[in-house]
Amino acid sequence: MSFLTIENLSAHVGPSPILRDVSLSVEAGEVRGLVGESGAGKSMIGKAVLGTLPLAVQVTSGRILLDGEDLLAMRPRDRRRVIGAKAALIPQDPLTALNPSRRVGPQITNRLVDILGWTRQDAQMRALELLHEVSIPEPERVMRAYPHELSGGMRQRILIASAFAAEPRLIIADEPTTALDVTVQKQILKLIRQMQQRHGTALLFVTHDLGVVSKVCQSLTVLFGGLVLEDTRVEPFFAHPSHPYSAALLAATPKYTDPDASLTPVPDAVIEGVQAEIAAHDRMQPHV
């Protein structure tokens, strides 16, 4: 059974839809890529699962099942507890994802102590262990440091360690390498992959980069305008993408075509085709 199941999730900002009947699932231990250009709604899906949607976004229909429990049907307090215990987020920008006025240590251990009821010593031990695992030198010193004293790569490692701290069954990684230097990107990607395998965590990897997907993911969902265009395993996708938009996206990604060939942006005709598809989808909906 899949650990995360999203069924027919629709969301609006004011009158305009941003998620259209999205369905997808992440099996236990699986890595699924959630791919789309900016504005496709891919981050919104992650936010919907974690309960951090902006105030302006309203979920109009659908279910989000985490470990069999319907998150949207729960009281907010219970939902937060379930999410805090079973899921975690690796955020996009390590520079803004650590609270500048607090030391690093408590920012890793606070979930364990406050939400999961660990003792302070156990949480401390666990944090040190994890910092060690993500290859941070001198973990004791780092625990006492303020975020501004550490480099961007270090901070992203800390955030990864923190995400794995409670042994969540699902981690949502929201473009975790976009804000980093190219050289650091590779290491971080490798680290996330290693940690995921070692801990057997399911991973929903939100990204706009098909190159990253090919390295990390087993399956993927392609999104445009809040509509799922393709949902498939990675191998068949890279061999024969079934949707014209996916094919165009693949053609626009370096390395997977001839590296010397000039990259072709997604052609207007393809975009128009997708937009027609979205319009057709919206016509099918009863008006809210």
Partner 1 sequence: MTLLRRILLRLLTMAITLIGVAIIVFFVIRVVPGNPIAMMLPPGAGEEDIARLKALYGLDKTIPEQFVIWLNGVLHGDFGTSITSRQPVLKLVLSRLPATLELSIMALVIAVILGGTLALTGTRRRGTRTEGTIDIVNGMALSVPDFLWGLVFILLFGVLWPVFHISGRVSPALDLPFVTNFYLFESVLRLRFDIWADLVSHMFMPALALAIPLAAIISQLLKQSLKETMHLDYVTLSRTKGYGENHVITHEALPNAVLPTLTLIGVQFTFLIGGTVIIERLFSYEGLGNMAIDAVINRDLPLIQGIVILFALIFTVVNLVVDLTYAALNPRLRNG
Partner 2 sequence: MADARGLVKRRAGVRLWLSASWLGLLVLAAVFAPLIAPQDPLMQDLFGARLPPFWEAGSDAAFPLGSDSLGRDVLSRIIYGARLALGVALIAGTLTCLIGSFLGLIAGYFRGWPDMVISRLVDIWMAFPPVLFAILLIAVLGTGLSSIIIAIVVIDWTRFARVIRAEAMSQGAMDYVASAQVSGRKRFSIMLAEILPNVLPTIVVLLTLEMGIAVIVEAILSFVNLSISTDQPTWGSMISEGRLSIHQAWWVLVFPLVTLFLTVLSFSQLGEGLKDHFDPVLR
Nearest approach, Cβ of residue 54 and partner 2 (Å): 9
Provide long-range contacts, Cβ within 8 A and 24+ apart, for 131-136. 131/157, 131/158, 131/161, 133/161, 133/164, 133/195, 134/158, 134/160, 134/161, 134/191, 134/195, 135/191, 136/161
Residue with smaller CB distance to partner 2, 55 or 284: 55
Residue with smaller CB distance to partner 1, 116 or 251: 116
4-63 positions binding partner 1, by CB under 8 A: 50-52, 55
Q: Which helix (H) or strand (E) holds 60?
A: strand 57-66
Query: In which residue are the tokens 């003792």 written?
Result: 119
> Exactly one of 56, 269, 280, 284 binds partner 2 (CB under 8 A); which one?
56
Which listed option, partner 1, partner 2, none, makes contact with residue 14 (CB within 5 to 8 Å by class)? partner 2
> Exactly one of 120, 141, 148, 190 binds partner 1 (CB under 8 A); which one?
148
* 148: Cβ contacts below 8 Å, ≥ 6 apart: 100
> Tokens representing 36?
């789309």
Residues 2-21, one symbol each (x = binds partner 2 by CB under 8 A, - = not), give: ------------x-------
* 123: Cβ contacts below 8 Å, ≥ 6 apart: 109, 112, 113, 165
Residue with smaller CB distance to partner 1, 110 or 194: 110
Nearest approach, Cβ of residue 53 and partner 2 (Å): 13
Which listed option, partner 1, partner 2, none, makes contact with residue 52 (CB within 5 to 8 Å by class)? partner 1
**How far is the C-alpha of 71 from the C-alpha of 32, rounded, in Å?**
20
**How far is the C-alpha of 235 from the C-alpha of 269, rounded, in Å?**
26
Number of DSSP helices (H) and strands (E) in the chain, helices first: 11, 10
286 binds partner 2 (CB under 8 A): no
1 binds partner 2 (CB under 8 A): no
Binding site for partner 1 (CB under 8 A): 50-52, 55, 76-77, 80-81, 83-85, 87-89, 91-93, 96-102, 107, 110-111, 114-115, 146, 148-149, 159
Residue ranges in contact with partner 2 by CB under 8 A: 14, 55-56
